Structure 1
Amino acid sequence: MTYPPTELEIARTPDGDRRDGHEGGVGGGGTAPDAVVAPTPSGGRVWRALRHDPAAVLCLAYIGLIVIMAVFAPLIVRVSGWSPYEFDQSAIDPNLGGVPLGPWGGISAEHWFGVEPGSGRDIFARIVYGARVSMVIALSATALTTVLGTTFGLLAGYFGGKVDQVVSRVMDFLMAFPALIFMIAVLSALPAGNRSTLLVVVISVFGWPYLARIVRGQTMSVSRREFVEAAGASGASGARVVFTEILPNLRSTIIVMVTLAVPGYIGTEAGLSFLGVGVVPPEPSWGQMIASSVSWYSVVPTYFAIPGLFLFLLVLSFTVLGDRLRAVVDSGEAR
């Protein structure tokens, strides 16, 4: 599948002519005016703009809370007094199939979020460790996706020609491929050991083309600016021009894309765990907890509501923060 070239995809070819990034594409051989690339706002200016946005501040606060839970999970669980793998048979009624004793799913001073029906495991402890699993997988997949997407996007956008053709065709293939079906098939066939690493690799394989396509277009635009051409004319190597002259000018674009990618990866991990091909029990996962709660939600709705609410708020926070960050960069508030 080929995409019609945009103004950002007009690149300089080795012989000095200007043409679109795809051979034989629309506008091939034409001459286009130099694109104007906005200055990259500094981190300090972006932060000053975001901290005056109440929605962005609330999102950052919640994300910070989840990060603290993930980092200090063992300490937090020790304070609560229950391990995420520990069964408390005294908190459930065996005569009713393991329904938690007490109101609201067994919420009490001993079990702050209640207990898991059927097993009596502490929901608070599993929520805390589930935050660690979700954040580690999502952030690791985001980091790997960012490295792959940025690298291939820079190479395709700057060097053009056959490099661009190969990278673009790979991106087209992966973006058109039914990723979810392939993930389910691969994860189902592979052994359960070290499932978190497999999730990171599989998610990243299908995630990097979306960032690479944006980076490619921006690279084509920035590479036509005078300071980049001057660096090439002075004898700087292609790698040095790409990573020291072009990449710093794409920082804001990459940050915005990464912020918007994290909630998608959190949701993907939760969805795969919900389908039974993600994190393997007894390792806690929010998606896995939601899947386990399906048969109990009419009896113990809190078991479904608590992990669902944590997952919803985390995805919402990253999504809103990404939108606010994109608005700051696009509107020039940070400058």
Structure 2
Amino acid sequence: MTFSSTSLESEATPAGDSSLDTTLESPPASGRRLLRAFLTDWGAMLSSAYILLIILMAIFAPLLTMLSGWGPYKFDQSAIDPNLGAIPIGPFGGISAEHWFGVEPGSGRDIFARIAYGARVSMTVALSATLLTTVIGVVMGLLAGYFGGLIDLVISRVMEFLMAFPALIFMIAILSALPADNRVFLLVVVISLFGWPYLARIVRSQTLSLKEREFVEAAKASGATSVRIIFREILPNLQSTIIVMATLAVPGYIGTEAGLSFLGVGVVPPTPSWGQMIAAATPWYAVDPMYFVIPGAFLFLLVLSFTTLGDRIRTIATSGEARS
């Protein structure tokens, strides 16, 4: 997963700049303006609605599968035809009132149940990796940009070292060598290992600019400690950048988890995963295309929704700063 820094390495607006006092006198109005812009953006609203739907599906997966009557590991041999190569009985992959999204060919497992539990894996990995990446990236970027010198040199060299690796190849190699236990945790750690430098580079760039501003110099002259300056003066001015970067990181991590599971080094069967389902559907797409289409559509729409939401947030934030 890589971040695009072209539009985000601009100079942040300092909260303490005296020249902007008239703008900063009414932050609630600015917040309301940005909220109205978000609520009137159909792309942002539709993307948010789909993301919320998937999150609710992941949270309430046990309840949903209880309502459907089929769990993710339960086989229904009566739903497949052994005389026709164990393909689902009925049209569209066996979609019916009993099996809402049909069944898996060969096994008869309920696809809806596996989609719901697969959403848990995708969202857990993506959101956890985004949180860990954001924390590490922000801390490292702030340290490198504010203190400079040897600290900046060491952190920058580490970032360049990790960014020089072909991340996907090394993720496959690392995960292949690790035990199958706690695979979700391992996915989060490995993805974050290669993801944090991209955010750290952006934070470092903006911190280098912000620390030269008058409001930081004034804080230093008043005797404020470095910790206070970083957390009270610099970090608040990086919030919009961090939010946009984190939102744009999620779809990349969802795709990374799906890709690793597709290649067989992600979550271990029979744990459901959308990428794993797509891989399992490959031999069957000619006789049962719905087995491939359904998890593929869920994955595509989730990645598209997060990408669209991130772009909309960036556009709204930029337009709001321009008006200010």
The match for 1:250 among 214, 235, 238 is 238
The residue correspondences of 1:285-304 to structure 2 (distance < 5 A) are 285-304=273-292
For the residue of structure 2 that corresponds to 1:205, the secondary structure is: helix
Q: Name the stretch that deviates more: 63-72 or 226-235.
A: 226-235
| Matches of 1:219 and 1:175, distance apart in 2 | 20
> Which of 104, 129, 135 is the matching residue for 2:117?
129
Question: Is the aligned partner of 1:37 residue 2:25?
Answer: no
- Structure 2 counterpart of 1:229, one-letter code: E
In the other structure, the counterpart of 2:189 is 201
Long gaps (5+) in structure 2: 1-5, 16-26
Query: Please, what is the CA RMSD of the aligned residues?
Result: 1.8
Q: What whole-Å deviation, never above 9, does each CA across 1:31-65 have from its counterpart, x for those lacking one?
A: xxxx9633688655433211111111100000010
Q: Within the alignment, does 1:101 sit opposite 2:76 as a pair?
A: no
- CA 45–77 in structure 1, closer or farther in 2 if over 3 Å, else same: farther
Q: Go from structure 1 to structure 2 and tell me whether the alpha carbon gap of 1:122 and 1:36 turns closer, same or farther (over 3 Å shift).
A: closer
Partner of 2:249: 261
- Alignment TM-score, normalising by the size of structure 2: 0.90
Given candidates 51, 76, 85, the residue that maps to 1:63 is 51
Match of 2:69 among 81, 84, 91: 81
Deviation for aligned residue 1:332: 2.4
Which residue identity is paired with 1:165? Answer: L
* Larger relative contact order (CA 8 Å, sep ≥ 6): 2
Per the alignment, residue 25 of structure 1 pairs with none
Q: Distance in 2 between matches of 1:235 and 1:110?
A: 70
CA distance in 2, matches of 1:36, 1:295: 51
Q: Which runs of 5+ in 1 are unaligned?
A: 1-5, 10-34
CA distance in 2, matches of 1:190, 1:142: 22
CA contact (8 A) 2:34 2:320 kept: no
Deviations 1:202-245 (A, max 9, x none): 00000000000000011111111122111122222212211121
Identity among equivalent pairs (%): 74
The residue identity in structure 1 corresponding to 2:149 is G
Amino acid at match of 1:263: P
Distance 1:36 1:134, change over 3 A: closer
1:316 to 284, 291, 304: 304
Which structure shows the higher helix fraction? Answer: 2
1:222 corresponds in structure 2 to 210
Runs of 4+ in structure 1 off by over 6 angstroms are 39-42
Whether 2:50 is the aligned partner of 1:91: answer no
2-side partners of 1:136 and 1:36: how far apart? 33
- Give CA deviations for 1:43-90 in whole Å, capped at 9, x if unaligned: 554332111111111000000100110111111111111100100011
How far apart are residue 269 of structure 1 and its match?
Answer: 0.1
1:39 to 1:66, Cα distance in 2 relative to 1, 3 A: farther
The amino acid that maps onto 2:171 is: M
CA distance in 1, matches of 2:301, 2:209: 37
What residue is the counterpart of 2:320 in the other structure?
Answer: 332
Taking the aligned partners of 2:154 and 2:39, their CA distance within structure 1 comes to 42
2-structure distance, mates of 1:179, 1:137: 17
SS at match of 1:83: coil
CA–CA distance in structure 1, aligned partners of residues 114 and 12 of structure 2: 47
Contact 2:101 2:112 in 1 (8 A): yes
Task: Kindly provide the CA deviation profile for residues 159-192 of structure 1, in whole angstroms up to 9, marking residues without a partner as x.
Answer: 0111111111111111111111111011111110
CA–CA distance in structure 1, aligned partners of residues 100 and 12 of structure 2: 52
Say if 1:39 and 1:109 are closer, same or farther in 2 by CA, change over 3 A.
Answer: farther
Question: Are the aligned partners of 2:285 and 2:292 in contact in 1 as well (CA < 8 Å)?
Answer: yes
In the aligned structure 1, how far is the partner of 2:157 from the partner of 2:49? 41
Partner residue in 2 for 1:238: 226
| Compared CA separation, residues 45 and 70, structure 1 to 2 (3 A) | farther
**2:261 corresponds to:** 273
State the AA in 1 paired with 2:198: Y
